[in-house]
């Protein structure tokens, strides 16, 4: 009987360690992910604008594609800002969770 209880305690402690490491990974992703995404979007946005400005205004078709890309990057930036606003509190909660 005592052996069965000891096995049960060991199993539950292993499960708690697994769950807490999972919560730690989720918490770190929620804290770091949106910020890294926002930085990457700023860099890509700068590169796209540099390419667009170096091409000049003589060609219509690539400028249309560049403007579409900048609009998409702007929407992704908005999503990343919302992710920062929502992700930081949730990331802290996941990092502080014991189970």
Tens of each residue's pLDDT in the chain, 99 residues: 566 656 655 665 665 555 578 888 888 999 999 999 999 999 999 999 888 888 776 666 777 888 899 999 999 999 999 999 999 999 999 888 876
pTM of the model: 0.71
Exposed/middle/buried for 76, CB within 10 Å: 0-12, 13-18, 19+? Answer: middle
Q: How far is CA 29 from the centre of its chain?
A: 6
């Amino acid at each position: 009987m005592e052996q069965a209880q000891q096995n049960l305690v060991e199993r539950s402690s292993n499960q708690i360690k697994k769950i807490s490491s999972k919560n730690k990974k989720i918490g770190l992703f929620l804290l770091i992910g949106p910020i890294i995404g926002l930085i990457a979007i700023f860099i890509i946005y700068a590169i796209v604008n540099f390419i667009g400005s170096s091409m000049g205004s003589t060609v219509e078709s690539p400028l249309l594609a560049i403007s579409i890309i900048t609009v998409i990057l702007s929407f992704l930036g908005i999503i990343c800002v919302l992710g920062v606003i929502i992700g930081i509190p949730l990331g802290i909660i996941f990092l502080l969770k014991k189970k």
